[in-house]
Amino acid sequence: MDTKTEKKYRIGDFAEVTGLSSPTLRYYEKEGLIKPHRTENGLRYYTDQDTDWIKFLLHLKSTGMTIEQLKQYVDWRAEGDSTIDKRVALLEDVRSNFEKEFDNLQKSWTILNDKLDWYKGKVNGHIEDSESFAAYLKRLNHEE
């Protein structure tokens, strides 16, 4: 009566599922971020639960968490519910840094767009050829 036959992925298939390479998966394992299962012959295999974790891990990574921080997170998780506060504190710290960086990025995006507008204005002549980009930004109130 097996209520749920778990799908098993070998490293190559799991690499496709996650968008990572096999060497990267082995690297993450070596760094302690994943713990795949093994067949009786010693081959790695991964399950759908591992997929969930990898996806979450990749989101954390793109918010700026380093491998080392992720490792810390994994270790705390393995210790159980007594470390929830630490995990929350870590994630809140990551979020706070990320938000700062995110604001910077928005600013940079604005400046990049301004520059493209400036080029276009220059090319079809509705911005004075003599108006510097710095002056243009000042006029838009986008300078720092």
* Residue 24 is a binding residue for DNA (CB under 7 A): yes
What string marks each residue from 2 to 21 as x (binds DNA by CB under 7 A) or -?
--------xxxx-------x
Instruction: Please tell me the distance from the alpha carbon of residue 11 to that of residue 22, in angstroms, as a whole number.
Output: 6
Footprint on this chain of a second copy (rule: CB under 8 A)? 52, 55-56, 59-60, 62-63, 84, 87-88, 91-92, 94-95, 98-99, 102, 104-105, 107-109, 111-113, 115-116, 119-120, 122-123, 132-134, 144
CB of 127 to DNA, least distance (A): 30
C-alpha distances (whole Å) from 80 to each of 33, 65, 75, 83, 115 are 16, 21, 9, 6, 51
CB of 125 to a second copy, least distance (A): 13
Instruction: Please tell me the distance from the alpha carbon of residue 19 to that of residue 28, in angstroms, as a whole number.
Output: 14
Q: Which residues pair with 111 in a beta bridge?
A: none
109 binds, among DNA, a second copy, none (CB under 5 to 8 A by kind): a second copy
CB of 13 to DNA, least distance (A): 6
| CA gyration radius, the chain | 24
CB of 35 to DNA, least distance (A): 12
Classify residue 63 by burial, with Cβ atoms within 10 Å: 0-12, 13-18, 19+.
middle
